[in-house]
Amino acid sequence: MTKPDSLDHTIRILERRLAAVEARDAVERLQYQYGFYLDNRMWDELAELFCDDAHGPPSIEIGRRGSYTGRDRVREFLVEVLGEGRWGLVTDEVIDHIQLQPLITVAEDGRTARCRSRALILGNSPPGTGRLLLAEGLYENRYVKQGEEWRIERLHWVPTFYTTVGDFDRAVFESAPPSELIPPDVASVPADKRLGRQFLPFHYPHPVTGAESPVPAADA
């Protein structure tokens, strides 16, 4: 028969293991959300994923552009340096960051975590150059649990390579038309003319602000 103290000890071990699994899931989801906002040049939404100064302060470094520390500086880097002052996509613009191979380590106290992952980048930003950017690189990021929510504390991406492939302007954004012989029950949503293609809205609210994310179409 199991002794009560032994059972309590087992329960505590299982609770810690469950907490670690939940933390890894939350950090992985946070990193993927970061990637989707980055794809669409949604700088405000992306900046909100970073922790407050009192819990970090947060910092960001992408490529050889240097590191920016503090929430205000992180936002400034995203909006002005990386985004060059433009929020959202223009017509026919593609800049996909495919998040791969997340290896997440959660600290014993369950309040901080680290993640090494990979990003494969495909893009034509800005469109009209006739070239496809192909790049790959590694992340070494840190995360902190702010209250009950995970936030990014340090985001650091180092490129492995950059290259370009020609004739990307010939890429097709529309798929084949609906079948006339066997028509669909419901027609597809029309393409957003501002983007030049159909855009799937985010199914989740912003994880920090709770706001519904707008379509990332730049005013220009």
pLDDT tens-digit series, residues 180-207: 988 888 888 888 889 888 888 888 899 9
Cβ atoms of 152 and 190 within 8 Å: the answer is no
Model confidence over 7-23: pLDDT tens digits?
A: 888 888 888 888 889 99
Question: Taking the mean position of all CA atoms in its chain, how far away is CA 88?
Answer: 14
Task: Confirm if 98 and 122 have CB atoms less than 8 A apart.
Answer: yes
What is the C-alpha separation between 6 and 179, in angstroms, rounded? 65
pLDDT bucket at 5, cuts 50 / 70 / 90: confident
In the predicted model, is pLDDT for residue 2 greater than 60?
no
Q: Which two tokens stand for residue 12?
A: 């505590």
- Residue ranges of the domains in the chain? 4-170
Higher pLDDT, 142 or 161: 142
Q: Under CATH, which architecture does the 4-170 domain have?
A: Roll (3.10)
Quote the pTM value: 0.84
Q: What is the pLDDT of residue 64?
A: 83
216 CB-side CA count, 13 A? 25
Whether residue 218 contacts residue 90, with contact meaning beta carbons closer than 8 Å, is answered with: yes
pLDDT digits (tens, 9 = 90+) for 153-172: 999 999 998 888 876 666 66
Single out the residue of 134, 135, 46, 40 nearest to residue 93, CA to CA. Answer: 40
Residue 194's φ and ψ, nearest 5 degrees, are -70, -30
- Length of the chain equals 220
**What is the pLDDT, as a whole number, of residue 118?**
93
Q: Any residues with CB less than 8 A from the CB of 201 and at least 6 apart, and which?
A: 213, 215
